Structure 1
Amino acid sequence: MYAAAHRPYCEQMGAYEELVEEATSASFSGWDFSWLGYRAVSADLSWSYDRLARAALEQATGVLDVDTGGGELLASLAPLPAATIATEGYEPNVPLARCRLYSLGVDVRQHPTGDPFPVEDGAVDLVLNRHGRLDAAELARVLRTDGVLVTQQVGSRNDADLNEALGAAPVMLPDANTCEGAVNALREHGFEILEAAEEWPEFVFLDVGAIVFHLRAIPWQIPDFDVDNYEPALRALDQRMRTNGPFVAHNHRYLIRARLR
């Protein structure tokens, strides 16, 4: 199916050099992947994090959004409770999030990696966390009794196909970050698990430029990624895609809804 749909695009695809130059020149800020457009498409998950977050917000009075990026997703969930806090660890994203979320009354706080949440004990009754750090002890500290966590996480097998195709070392061991491990950690800190699911949806790249942009945007996938150092592997992958069709990787996602007891 992907190969057939790819043929018309492949016929008008630019040369390798053009695709790479386009991808390396593209700007990226916050958590905005709109540049990719149709060139990289992820299959749907069986759940909708947005829908679950909106439903939880209806009952919340104090909210913490963990690792909000540029605030793009949180802003899309408005209206928000008056007592909403967003944290962000990547310093360049903090002013972007503050600008975007200011009119919604959100208190954006910088959160350096490894530090406790800059939030008081028992300050919130809902924690939203899409692809942010998941620290069970800290979540138990900031949530009130009967407070709810809604999180979607990126597992340790995420896009491992890309690393393999480019000859890069895996980011981490395959079972280092899984739904089962996260569930066990949350239970140890007093959480009741309301829902847990784990899936590996296809992530389809139409050209090598989309792959380059993606790896620039998420540098932790291949920490030493550089188009010059990886040129032979990128050119080989480019030729493979022109001959065989889109490159299909697999995301690794899991969802947990939990209540603090």
Structure 2
Amino acid sequence: MTERGFDELVAEAASASVEGWDFSWLDGRATEARPSWGFSRALGYRMAGVQSSLDLQTGGGEVLAQVPSVPRLAVATESWAPNLQKAQRLLGPRGIVVVNAAEEPPLPFADDTFDLISSRHPVRVWWDEIARVLAPGGSYFAQHVGPHSVFEVVEWFLGPQPEEVRQMRAPEADRVAAAEAGLEVVDLRYEETRMEFFDIGAVVYFLRKVIWIVPGFTVEAHLPRLRDLHEKITADGPFVAYSTRFLIEARKPAA
């Protein structure tokens, strides 16, 4: 447990860069268990067996950069300028084309183009577009954020949430949406994993980086609750939350 005071911890976290999707700033300050399926490893295995791939909402390209090999045609999309620039620097040397594409449809690709479409933690999934640009027999392979993920943090700052909000992003809803788009879900697995925040700076950094947890978060607007949480961590130890994740694989019927 750090002995540094509230003001110092918060100021440090508030000034840290949150570019990209690299969470190494939190090393030693927060932990998150990973789902048992090992998404990056599983993605690498699938990419080794296809001729074309598309990674949607790639962030700074950190996940795709871990894949041992990529197919002849490898494309990634990103819309946020700082992430786009980072992804181009990281992935370009590997021959991966990073496209500036909005998170909303249409995707700027022809029908039946990609053998594999992937995504890790997409903000929103447009199943009809995925089905359109997948080649016949191709697959969508992704790790999605599940319902009520990190709601211990959400509700600390925003108060109790309605049940309909808590159940948004339910895995079964994506199963239905994929089927309605003409895809067959061949794998769907759900897990809850433990997170721990060891100081208030870790919480501030996390909320600045993962902006949909507490929309519009600023230190100034949430100062009283931040102080309360700092006192709680100081007295009781790490603040514990649970992230929810599900793995989904959906296949387009062969022609």
Q: TM-score, normalised by structure 2?
A: 0.94
CA shift digits 1:212-249 (9 cap, x unpaired): 00000011211121111211111111111111111011
Pairing of 1:20-31 with structure 2 (within 5 A)? 20-31=10-21
Aligned to 1:207: 199
C-alpha contact (below 8 Å) 2:158/2:214 kept by paired residues: no
Could you tell me how far apart the structure 2 residues matched to 1:44 and 1:84 are?
26
C-alpha contact (below 8 Å) 2:113/2:135 kept by paired residues: yes
Mean CA deviation greater in 195-204 or 172-181: 172-181
The answer as to 2:147 corresponding to 1:156 is yes
- How many residues are paired up? 251
CA shift digits 1:36-87 (9 cap, x unpaired): 1121111231211112101111211010000111111111113211201100
The answer as to 2:110 corresponding to 1:120 is yes
> What secondary structure does 1:253 align onto?
strand
RMSD, matched Cα: 1.6
Runs of 4+ in structure 1 over 6 Å off: none
Given the alignment, which residue of 63, 73, 78 partners 1:83?
Answer: 73
Aligned to 1:239: 231
The answer as to 2:30 corresponding to 1:40 is yes
The answer as to 2:158 corresponding to 1:177 is no
> What secondary structure does 1:250 align onto?
strand
How many angstroms does 1:16 deviate by?
Answer: 0.5
Aligned to 2:129: 138
Could you tell me how far apart the structure 1 residues matched to 2:38 and 2:109 are?
27
CA shift digits 1:116-155 (9 cap, x unpaired): 1122111100011111232110110010111011100012
Pairing of 1:45-56 with structure 2 (within 5 A)? 45-56=35-46
> What secondary structure does 2:165 align onto?
coil
The answer as to 2:59 corresponding to 1:69 is yes
Quick one: which amino acid aligns to residue 115 of structure 2? Answer: D
> What secondary structure does 1:158 align onto?
coil
List alignment gaps of at least 5 residues for structure 1.
Answer: 1-8
Could you tell me how far apart the structure 2 residues matched to 1:153 and 1:43 are?
15
Q: TM-score, normalised by structure 1?
A: 0.92
Quick one: which amino acid aligns to residue 141 of structure 1? Answer: R
